[in-house]
Amino acid sequence: MLRKINVRDAKLGMFITEICGNWMDHPFWKKEFELVRQKDLDNLQQCGIEEIWIDTDRGLDAEYHPYVAPKAESAAPEAVAVEKKKSVHVPALEEIQRAQKVNFKAKRATAYIFKEARMGNALQTGEAVELVDDITRSVTRNPGALLNLARLKNKNDYTYQHSVAVSALMVALGKQIGIEGDLLRSLGMAGLLHDIGIMMIPEEVLKKPGPLNDEELEMIKSHPRLGWKMLKEAHDVDATVLDVCLHHHERVDGKGYPEKLSGDALTLFARMAAVCDLYDTLTSDRLNKKGMAPAEAIHKMAELQNTQLDQTVFHAFVKTVGIYPTGTMVKLKSGRLGVVVDQAPKSLLTPIVRVFFSTKVNAPIFPELVDLSKIPDTIVSVEEPDNWKIDLKVLAGI
């Protein structure tokens, strides 16, 4: 039986069928789920949502089935301290320097792995595992720093930097969904290697300045299967990596490639990869094509829900990068221009902005960090940096 209850009456063991409120106002990506983790219960009762629907046939009832969560065994003080240190969130500007080192190392190592693949050498994933661990640590401290660095890529190393960016996005999205441990590492590895089949495509096709003909398009579309075959021959590549490599260009409506899968035939990981791959593609400068602003890309992707992209996964992705992702240049109601440098923990609409220019006096102002969740100023528009002759790298503190 379906029943609406106040969120304060929620208990572990209930089966939630709907959270009443805007999806942006709560941290849960699933539409239906069993409430089994204390962390999820705490988040549910602290996010501002007032009511939820539960199914008493699939889980506990608020009134008649009281549930007392078992007490976890006490961890040693040292272990608690280490865990807190691991999960601490640091400001994006503080993480930038470490993220730069991770980004440089990852790009260089990915280029080596991909070039070895082009020459037909056996795939060595040992260094890639270390890279994914570095990426995961940076994303855990603050996802915006590395994601923004990876987005500001050079056209000449697009393929390698794209792979680093998708790896970071997969890790960040996985953490948002609640994935941890070895599976999270697999998602990072899948992002890093998802496009390795591109190395089997002739360079003259990849770097062709004009439109591709039908034969060349089919060559490009063959890269997921070519990459899958290459990875399958490596003894230490798991099923998640293989799945993402083969299916990251599939669509939920069945119009993707190479297998035209749709609906339940697509795994969660393939749906995640489709979102992460498309976002970085849209926001990157490539040969003969300028990338979109991050906020513009999010708007474009919202139009593709339930056709190209899975709606639920996309909603989780928006919570990951923000409606105004890090690196977005914005104009505030006060007339100031700024760049988004971090996300506010409680609202996607009120990021932290580094203001630097006043449109009212048409002159630079002393740079200042502004937390829009704490002041009455608001974002009125997304701006194109080129229109203001602005270097995004300087603005972001890179």
What is the band of 76 on the pLDDT scale with cuts at 50, 70, 90? very low
Give the DSSP letter string of 46-105.
Answer: HSS--EEEEETTTS--TTT----PPPPPPPPHHHHHHHHHHH----HHHHHHHHHHHHHH
Q: For the chain, what percent of residues have pLDDT higher than 90? A: 50
User: pLDDT class for 69, splitting at 50, 70, 90?
Assistant: very low
The CB density around residue 257, as the number of other CB atoms within 10 Å, is 17
Distance CA 364, CA 335 (A): 12
Nearest to 2 by CA among 43, 55, 40, 44: 55
pLDDT in tens, 3-28: 888 898 899 989 998 888 776 667 77
- Mean pLDDT of all residues in 292-302: 92
Q: Using pLDDT thresholds of 50, 70 and 90, give the confidence band for residue 61.
A: confident
295-332 in b/e burial notation, b at 16+ Cβ within 10 A? bebbeebeebeeebbbbbbbbbbbbbbbbbbbbbbbbb
Q: How confident is the model at residue 338 (pLDDT cuts 50, 70, 90)?
A: very high
Entry pTM: 0.80
Cβ neighbours of residue 19 closer than 8 Å, sequence gap 6 or more: 26, 28, 44, 49, 52, 53
Q: What is the reported pLDDT for 27?
A: 73
Q: 396 or 78: which carries more pLDDT confidence?
A: 396
The predicted structure's pLDDT at residue 64? 41
pLDDT band at 150 (very low <50, low <70, confident <90, very high): confident
